[in-house]
Amino acid sequence: MKILVTGGAGFIGSHTCVELLEAGHDVVILDDLSNASGTVIDKIETITGKRPAFYQADAKDRAVLHEIFTAHRIDAVVHFAGFKAVGESCHIPLAYYRNNLDSTLALLEEMAQAGCTRFVFSSSATVYGPDNAIPYVETMPTYVATNPYGWTKVMIEQILRDYCTATPGFTAVLLRYFNPIGGHPSGLLGDDPNGIPNNLMPYIARVAAGQLDKLTIFGDDYPTPDGTCRRDYLHVVDLAKGHLKAIDYAMEHTGAEAFNLGTGHAVSVLELVNTFMEATGVNVPYVIGPRREGDLPQMWADTHKAETILGWKAEKTVADMCRDSWNFVCSVKKQ
């Protein structure tokens, strides 16, 4: 099959492109490189021996989308392209609503013209909001989010559900990620955002590499065992493999269906920092700062649905995630 991957040069997107190519699919990447590097395309080719078609453009650009669907017989779309920083979304909410919603709507409209009916959406555990019990189960209500980033995911999921209801034969698989970290075992791919990282693991790695002075942990007075936030961290390669399972599911089913992709276990910020230091032997200086707006104390997944219906389960450990994250940083330093 030929798969269009928006945001395919990004952290999760690039790893998913590798898994798709190694599974025998053809890949077309659309990415504006606003938070990624064009060298990722070369690295994907180095790992897989196959070069994906690449368009550097905004996913909201209808003309480029039309060009892609005209030039390629796209069988399915995996939609990663979007702004994703919780804290930033609280400060520039309009940019998040404009970018994340418009890109999805533009894709759906061009897919309709091209007759493409399989859509895999990069959603988030933030859709569960602050009121649901832990662990999160796909049947829980998702009508309350705690930040604009989360609201864009809630809204897009609703758009996709409504579209599936109105369009018999269309499939939307809503993959609710928890906290992907790690990198490709080759060391060629990892989480390398432009500027100061918004996510925890790339920040830890840059502190460990001496590129940043110290890590600030946002709050140590949460109602958790060590006072720091707890999250369900999973290896990005495990997550990427979940997208292959989602595409397989989409080819055999119609309608909208949500799946949690996580490990089912929570790890605190302090536990992650300590595991990183133990797994790599590198010190990570840190200080405790005030709480960050929009953060929940803890969240982790109930993974039963993905395991039983998709046949997917996360396999790698937190130590694996830390070692592969550091391996990527070391590989970048050698280049």
Token duo for residue 39 = 């060298």
Any bridge partners for residue 216, and if so which? 287
Residue 157's identity, in one-letter code, is: E
HEC profile of 260-297: EECCCCCEEHHHHHHHHHHHHCCCCCEEEECCCCCCCC
Q: Which residues are catalytic?
A: 149
Q: Taking the C-alpha atoms of 125, 111, 78 and 117 in order, what is their torsion angle to the nearest 10 degrees? A: 80
Nearest to 12 by CA among 147, 201, 148: 201
Q: Taking the C-alpha atoms of 228, 234, 240 and 246 in order, what is their torsion angle to the nearest 10 degrees? A: -90
Q: Which residues of 307-330 are buried (b: 16+ CB within 10 A; e: fewer)?
A: eeebebbbebebebbbbbbbbbbe
